[in-house]
Chains A and B, each alone.
Chain A
Amino acid sequence: MRLPLSYVVRNLWTRKLTTLLTAGGMALVVFVFAAVLMLEAGLRQTLVDTGSFDNAVVIRRSAQTEVQSGIDRAQAGVIESQPEVTLGAGGARMLSKEVVVLVNLYKRDAENKPANVLVRGVEPQGLALRPQLHIVAGRLFRPGASEIVVGRSVAERFRGAGLGERLYFGLRDWSVVGVFDAGHSGFDSEIWGDADQLMQAFRRPVYSSVVLKLADPARFGELKARLESDPRLTVEAKREIEFYSEQSALLANFIRYLGLSLSVIFSVGAVLGAMITMYASVATRTAEIGTLRALGFRRGSILAAFLLEAAALGITGGAAGLFAASFMQLLTISTMNWQSFSELAFSFTLTGAIVAKSLAFALAMGFLGGFLPAARAARIDIVDALRAA
């Protein structure tokens, strides 16, 4: 016969302070665990949304990032003439030769803390290549003018980057004429302007990268092979989606490893806490357990009841931790991505998988902490237990 669930719940309810403290410890562990997973998911989300499967990015061989790359005009011309490039309205080639530089801007809220913000000079097709990007305030920059549009998170965070303000770099004042939203992708952390104007301002005769849309995404392999074996070029081609996920691999791994090792260490503390609570719970109820056994409940039922109690502790803690962690979605983290050396904003993202993982983690902590005490409770001898009272 099984012990009723209400017995388990009432046991926890009687010792509120102890239950609260144990579940509270677990809640904190689950909070850290969930927050880390959410951060990593947010980072991946941001970078996955940045790239498109249909687009290819061409940069100088072994340059790793657009900032380090350089492609001169003759090489860019060779890339432009490849047959895989799709044709857009009016027969224009869907290709943008871009220049990418970093400039130091200061955050609005902090005195004298510079951040590297990525400035991208694009050609007219650049916007069409990134359909996720929309102007939400103001208008697009005019080609040939010292005008720029800024990503949403740049406009919010950096001094002088709001709509109607002016930014000074490359010996010029640039008017911010528009703010764009790129659907939480990495472009939200960028400033865009006219490629030719930016190249002039920075005295830079070469492009950084060439971004193009493939007419047939399946034929990317052919394009890559041809470009990389062309003796006139020293470039490598990547799918845009891969390019951006590589950009953040280091940061994502760092967050993941740091977070997981912390969760493991912390969970040791929480498991010990659960173990202490459950041992005490068994010790103070020895006579009660004896009575239950005398009434005819089997060892298995006792074991199950105590395990359930521990699991309930774990689930309570897990749910509380997850609840607190879900508020982290309101926060946006902005930090330097080591690989691209530029500022990147991303937010905590809660997914179904994270909810499941966190609850499973909490449940596992509860079981792990409850198993030994429950086994002890189940092994108690009826006569000794009754005498203990």
Chain B
Amino acid sequence: MSTSGIIIMGILVIVVIAIVSIYNGIVSRKNAVERAWAGVISQERQKNNVLPELEKVVSEHKEFEAGILSDITRLRSKLGELSERKIDTQGLGEIESLMGKVQSGISVTMEAYPELKTAGLMNNLMREISEQEENVGAAIRIFNQNVEAFNEGIEVFPNNMVNGMLNKQARILVFSDTQSSEKFDYKPNL
């Protein structure tokens, strides 16, 4: 084989290796996004361990508003709708918003009736809920970071070419807290 033939072969091998590595990179980042989403769902489902106890305590104490009980029931049904297979950031947003409502309702009642704080179970439940919410928040952050890495991985050159020809993956939406962002007038010009 002539020298130019060897050079062309070498370039072809390098191009093929690059394409394979970009293709695999996109696949592994997609898997990481799916795994992170499953992490969010699994953290959300942890709420199922606490909600029955919370429901019991709220129904036992008439100091709590009736609306809290119905919110807890809605929350449980919404949690059942979440799927690990389908990335549904809107459904997640609804659950987070409902959870925030339940938490703030309970906190307001506990502030008005300090004797409720002395109930050990209530305190432990609130602590557990707060830690669970922290974990959900962290899982969402990990999900969003992975989504960013994935989106960047399909949009930069030459990855966009490989994705367009082989992977054919679309951008994934990051999760944004609509309830919080509604409080701002500022909207980024994206």
Decide whether A and B are members of one complex: no
